[in-house]
Structure 1
Amino acid sequence: MSTKSEKTTTATGDLEDEVLESLQALVFSLKGQLRHSLGEQPLALAPMELRALQFFVRHPGASQRDLVQHSGRDKAQIARLIKSLLDSGHLQASPDPEDRRSQRLSPTPSGLALHGQLHQARRQALARSLTGLDAGELGQLLGLLKRLRSNLVAPTPPA
């Protein structure tokens, strides 16, 4: 015979599983919609490269160290991403006037064009997914998503 707390735990566990499955399905659907919005053409960059490019579009003149701090990724991974973006012509580097060891990175016209294309496709996919939600629901959704993310990035308390 099960107790009430066991039933609650099972019900909560089932609900948590359903939340996880729904989040995964949402991400999968958004990626599919994004591919559809782009006309099934392959993206010129890998997802992490696109996120790095997006960072430099929003923060032109930032440094590699700025991206490391922002992303939480290791220096070697960021160095490879930046090298790839420089080699592909989507980023350009200029010397940092305050620190000769550092470079300031900015998107090139081709980087801006690629970012614009992706941004438009993302906006279309997002608009479709948010259809029917009012401003209050959007605010509530944003608050919940921020809480979920902060739970994952916050240090884990000792056991």
Structure 2
Amino acid sequence: MTNSHNDDVMWLMHMIMHRYRARQFEQLRDGPYNITHMDGKVLAYLGRNPGASQGDLARFMERDKAQMARLIKGLRDKDLLTSEPDADDRRIVRLTLTARGAGIKTEMQQQGKHLSQLALNGLNVEEQQQLLALVRRVYDNFEQV
């Protein structure tokens, strides 16, 4: 290998994800939704974790309470999520996507599938499986640390 960034596997993996996310959020930002990168991360998280607490989301997003409160308020104002006190502990705020928020999350997933197909264009099924196995091994190496 040379000293070029283009020969650094981890740098290329980082740049692939950067380009993937940039393209995905360009489509949402420039579309009718006015969705930011952070908005998209929240929608994706709550789509996977409906009813998560504001604290759960803050830990996932690595943001403090004040930052999360502003982000959540903005998403409520856009009618993308609702927040309600927990039934057992009213100090805990539970977050749920609205129908509009869930629709945008679904569109994000569809865009993600399209971008994945674009990224893997020209690779046959066997090559895609080989790439997946190699990347999974790299990922698993970090799980052992």
Shorter-chain-normalised TM-score: which range? 0.7 to 0.9
Identity %: 28
Counterpart secondary structure, 1:141: helix
Q: Which moved more, 1:133-142 or 1:48-57?
A: 133-142
Q: Aligned residue for 1:70?
A: 60
Tell me the TM-score normalized by structure 1.
0.70
Which of these residues, 78, 81, 84, is aligned with residue 91 of structure 1?
81
Equivalent AA in structure 2 for residue 122 of structure 1: G
Which of these residues, 141, 145, 154, is aligned with residue 135 of structure 2?
141
> What does residue range 120-139 of structure 1 map to in structure 2 within 5 Å?
120-131=110-121, 132=123, 133-139=127-133
Counterpart secondary structure, 1:99: coil
Q: Rg larger in 1 or in 2?
A: 1
1:18-37 per-position Cα deviation (integer Å, ceiling 9, x unaligned): 32663465345435654787
Tell me the TM-score normalized by structure 2.
0.75
Equivalent AA in structure 1 for residue 61 of structure 2: S
Runs of 5+ unmatched residues, structure 1: 1-10, 155-159
1:60-101 per-position Cα deviation (integer Å, ceiling 9, x unaligned): 111110112223222222221111111111001122011112
Count of aligned residue pairs for this structure pair: 137
Q: Please, what is the CA RMSD of the aligned residues?
A: 2.9
Contact 1:37 1:125 in 2 (8 A): no
